[in-house]
Amino acid sequence: MDIRRLLRTFGTLLGTAGLLISGCSSGSSTTSASRSAPAAPTELLPYYSQHLTWRDCGVSGFQCATMKAPLDYAKPDAGDIKLAVSRKKATGPGKRIGSLLVNPGGPGGSAIGYLQSYAAAGYPAPVRARYDMVAVDPRGVARSEPVECLTGPQMDAYTQVDQTPDDTAEVTQLSDSFHKFANGCEQRSGKILPHVATVEAARDMDILRSLLGDEKLTYVGASYGTFLGATYAELFPARTGRLVLDGAMDPSLSSIEMNRDQTAGFETAFQSFAADCVKKSDCPLGTTSTTDAAAHLEQLFADLDAKSIPTGETRKLGESLATMGVVAAMYDESSWPQLREAIAGAQRGNGSGLLALADSYYERQPNGTYANLMAANAAVNCLDSPPAFTGPNAVKQALPSFEKASPVFGKPLAWASLNCADWPVGATGAPHRIKAKGASPIVVVGTTRDPATPYKWAQSLAGQLSSGRLLTYEGDGHTAYGRGSDCIDSAINRYLLDGTPPAADKRCS
């Protein structure tokens, strides 16, 4: 139900659902920090001088290790946090360049899940040949001491709360659900909750860079991973190597600006879907116009708000889950046929298709458990920036602007932005421009009709960064690298392999 700044790649959204990442078993090689790496602060030397003991993960071709970082960088002697790391070594041919760290976004997406299910096989072969592909689950995420908030049944209830409240009782119910979620996080994960900010995750990446023996970080971050990468460049410009930030966030925006922009992004994506849909004879939203298609979808949501429908299991499909099912399909145009079928099923009284899409979005497993995506997502976002809204009255005042941004999604996405209002830990970050003066060229990739990270965010970030280089994909979907554009892939491959960034303002279609 909570989609505030849930910025992630669709490949992760579907690719890691149900993925079992095995723990490390008996070990083999050991890696320590390169002697030529930049010197670490004295108080952090125990972390920069540790050794990574690589072991077989139990997943073919992958090795796993555990690294330590300070739980609190302000008090590095106060205790450790253990972070899970995985890699697949360079396959050859060609001379190994170094390590390529990847992050799929979220916040809360498992980087190890992304590496093992997609990146290590899905990234272009020339890149995989010459880089060790590496991932670390950020602190609080997946296998790195995950933030936990609710049980599976509690999450089921949470995702079904009405996000378009029509009266005071429904507003209270929605506010209470956010409060119970935040309270659950404090009760289950109170120790780690103040220490999962993006700044801390970026500092963890610098420790890992050193332990891998790399003088500079080479990194591909998607979606929220672009904010993580830009934050790294801001903290460590001299250690910033070849960075690709795909589906970029704009760090200068406030939470309310970001949420409203993202709402507009989903409207743009829906308009593209609707324009494609109405041309097809099987379109469940009519075959006349995008305006008519939007009206049909809004009517379906209204019907489900009034009465939920069966799904073939104990849970029924109401408006909230249906909305998330549609939102999930906006991330990738290849999912549009599945969405058409799911909407048609719901119109006939069968909610199983939209429920399956919503479950993939929330990373709900078939056994009723959830990955910790939603918990980590809230924990990171609520630390990184002050809340968009402090209470229901603030949401009500902002509703017109959200509904203007998206007549279809504006109301539920505005109310979803209330999730940090009762957060037990105050924000430690704030919106600001990131310049990263002194960093090597940083390639910022934007897709013109990206639903989750609007194109103007990429334009803004590339303009903020002192060495930013904007690469544009004219198309649909969330992120661009490895999604079928030879133009995009060739430009990024060249940059990663020989250090030559794309020409200024290069565009691909």
- Residues labelled catalytic: 223, 450, 478
* CA dist., res. 328 & res. 278, Å (int): 20
* Residues 284, 340 contacting (CB under 8 angstroms): yes
Instruction: Express the helix, strand and coil content of the chain in percent, nearest 5 each.
Output: 45, 15, 40
* Residues 338, 345 contacting (CB under 8 angstroms): no
Q: Are β-strands 7-8 and 506-508 bridged in parallel, bridged antiparallel, or unpaired?
A: unpaired
Say if residue 44 is exposed, middle or buried (CB neighbours under 10 Å; 0-12, 13-18, 19+): middle
* CA dist., res. 130 & res. 98, Å (int): 7
Distances (CA, A) of 12 to 115, 364, 497: 9, 13, 25
* CA dist., res. 61 & res. 135, Å (int): 14
Q: Please give the full DSSP string across 253-281, using - where no structure is assigned.
A: S-HHHHHHHHHHHHHHHHHHHHHHHTTST
Handedness of CA 313, 315, 316, 319 (dihedral sign): negative
* Residues 233, 465 contacting (CB under 8 angstroms): yes
Can you give the three-state secondary structure of 158-190, one letter per residue? Answer: HHHCCCCCCCHHHHHHHHHHHHHHHHHHHHHHC
Conformation bin of residue 99: beta by default, left when phi > 0, alpha when psi is -120 to 50: beta
* CA dist., res. 147 & res. 225, Å (int): 18
* CA dist., res. 417 & res. 260, Å (int): 9
* Residues 185, 25 contacting (CB under 8 angstroms): no
Tokens of 240: 């910033």
**Coil vs helix vs strand at 471:** strand
Collect all residues with Cβ–Cβ distance below 8 Å to 291 and sequence separation of at least 6: none
Pick the closest to residue 346 from 304, 305, 306 (CA basis): 304
* Residues 108, 372 contacting (CB under 8 angstroms): yes
* CA dist., res. 324 & res. 360, Å (int): 10
| Alpha helix ranges (H) inside 278-351 | 290-306, 319-329, 336-347
Q: How far is CA 116 from the centre of its chain?
A: 17
Q: What is the CA radius of gyration of the chain?
A: 22
